Structures are given as C-alpha cells and as structure tokens.
Structure 1
Amino acid sequence: MAVIADFPAYPEWAGQVKKADVLETDADGRASRVRFVLDAGVISDEYVLGYDWDGDAGVSWRMVEAGKMLSGLTGSYRLDDSGGGTEVTYDLAVDLKVPMIGLIKRKAEKVIVDTALKGLKRRVESR
C-alpha cells in the first residue's frame, strides 16, 4: 500500500501517468485529492480524483474534477494476504466525454489496467 499511496512517484512506474500532485490529505496524512496528467495514447487528459482509504487493506477513488476527455473515473485497489505474498485486485471504470468505438475504449482500458498492475508489481519488487 505504501507504493500505491506514493502518488508523486507514479510517473516512475505507472506508464501513462505523466504527473501526480497531491492537493489535499486526510487526517492520517494520506492523499484525499490528487491531480493527474495522463497520456494513454488515445486518452490524454488532466483530472482530479478523490480517495477513500481502508487502512492498508484497500483504497477507492472517484473523479471529482473531470478533464477534457474523461467524464468519469472510478476504481479501487484491494490488497489481501495470500500466504505467499499479497494478492492485488484492481477495478477500474472509465467514462469518456467523446464518443469512441467500444473496441478502442476496451483496448485503452486494458492497457491502463495491465500497465498499472505490472508497474505496481515491478515497483514493489524493486524496493
């Protein structure tokens, strides 16, 4: 969860995130609002997400300031101890302001999810 909560480091491991600025933190010092600059090929945008933390077990987010292309972005990370390590469940839903062929949208979502999980795994293992 320490890697997930380190938003300024996202450009180092989350390929599409070019910048992540923490705008607000909660009482525990974790980010509650973060501005992102994203470049995922067909989807490039700047937006703000609001975060809700469940200790070190999970975090969920929702879009609180839409960008030019994205009208909605919700998701979560859930971490579970699997005995031999940590199992990560990542959910993501993306809504676009611009019409896009379903196949292209699904491909973009898959690239974002795959890159996020692979990048997270590499980042955690390198620490």
Structure 2
Amino acid sequence: MAESTQSSVVVQAAPEAVLDIIADFDGYPEWTQFKSATVVAEDADGWPEQVEFVLDAGPIKDTYTLSYDWDVVEDGTGTVSWTLVKASLLKTLDGTYTLTAEGAGTKVDYQLKVDVSLPMLGVLKRKAESIIIDTALKGLKKRAEA
C-alpha cells in the first residue's frame, strides 16, 4: 500500500480476543471515532463482508461503506483488510490490521491510506491517517486489556 501511514501496538490479550473486538462492529462507537458501524452483508462463514460507517475524525466526516477480507486462522492471527466501496467525501480508505502472537499478547500492525475528494495537502492527509490509526490502536488496546 503506497503512501500509507502505519503504526503498531502490543496488546496484552490473545489474538482471538483482539480479532473478536475488531469483528464486533456494533461496539465500535464505544472505542473508536465512529458514531455508528452497521454490518450490511456477511460472507458464507458469517464474517462481516460490507460495513457502513458514520465517521467523525476531526477533519474527516463521512458516511461510507467498506468491503472486508478476513484472512485469519483459528487462533486469531492473520490479516483483516478493507477497501472503500462508496462514500461522499472519501475517495480512498484502504487499510489492514495484521495480528501476530507475541508472547501472551498480540502485536497489532495497522496500515491505512486515506484520500478525500476535496483538495487537501498530502501532509494533512497523513495527519488524518495518523489520528485515525492512533485513536483506533489506543482504543483497541484499552478495550482488549479491560
């Protein structure tokens, strides 16, 4: 993913517990900047395939739908990736969580690329990505370790 922002955190919880939090879209308003997250479609295995979000992340506010790919194994390790399906303001919102077992915990790598339809300096786009990533990782860690 070119021109993306990335960060990581180690969460003191098993990968499957972290994955369960990531897959619990109804709970997103409790630990993210999303006002709501609604599963629109599921795949044959019951994983959310399309999710509609209402986002309020500082300079970026939008309602959009993401398509998800769940490339994970039974212990919760692997990748969860998404791409933008439709939005009003956003042109691109592609990202990946990579979950790796690390000791008794989980290393979560988060990579994100954001682009908006309005003219915006690259540095502001990267700042928006950083805000989204930092908020998500801190919220995920806090929720998983509670």
Report the TM range for the smaller structure's normalisation. over 0.9
What stretches of structure 1 move > 3 A for 4+ residues in a row? none
* Residue 63, structure 1, aligned to residue 84, structure 2: yes
Residue aligning to 2:26: 8
SS of aligned partner of 2:130: helix
Q: Matches of 1:8 and 1:62 in 2, distance apart?
A: 19
Uncovered stretches (5+) of structure 2, i.e. residues with no partner: 1-18
Residue aligning to 2:44: 27
* 2:66 aligned partner, one-letter code: L
Residues 54 and 64 in structure 2, CA contact (< 8 A), matched pair in contact too: yes
Q: Matches of 2:91 and 2:26 in 1, distance apart?
A: 23
Match of 1:113 among 133, 136, 143: 133
TM-score by length of 2: 0.81
Q: For each residue in 1:43-93, what CA deviation from the matched residue of structure 2 results, as whole angstroms up to 9, or x when unmatched?
A: 10001000010123221100111x221011111111101113110011100
Percent identical across equivalent pairs?
Answer: 54
* 2:42 aligned partner, one-letter code: T
Aligned residues: 124
* Residue 89, structure 1, aligned to residue 103, structure 2: no
TM-score by length of 1: 0.93
Q: Which has the higher contact order (CA 8 A, sep 6+)?
A: 2
Q: Matches of 1:48 and 1:26 in 2, distance apart?
A: 15
Residue 101 of structure 1 deviates from its aligned partner by 2.2
- Alpha-carbon RMSD across the aligned residues, in angstroms, is 1.0
